[in-house]
Amino acid sequence: MAVECSDIDIADEAELGIYSSSQWGERVFCKTCGSSLMWRSKDGAHIVVSAQAFDDPYVFSFTSEIFIDDKPGNYAFANETQKMTNAEVYALYAKEQESQNG
């Protein structure tokens, strides 16, 4: 389920740790327990929140996978999902970036 970045409300940002995982993205985690909470683009345009960060993660449907060409061979999900390769993900974000910049 996609939501607008402005719809994300964090109760106490002081409890969050941030790891710069690439030139364009960062991972956000709980400083207390280390749980991964989200990935976000450094420009603030994209946020992907872990379903496990919610009290009832079962309300979310698992529908897509990204960077599928980097997944381990013994890693597979039971349900059918949309699968995107590295190139497809990068192309999608580049296209979105171009449309935002006009």
The model's pLDDT over 39-89, given as tens digits with 9 standing for 90+, comes to 988 888 888 888 888 888 888 888 889 999 999 999 888 899 999 999 998
Percent of the chain with pLDDT over 70: 87
Its pTM stands at 0.67
Judge whether 62 and 81 are in contact, CB under 8 Å: yes
Per DSSP, the three-state class of 35 is coil
Give the CB-side neighbour count of residue 71, counting CA atoms within 13 A: 13
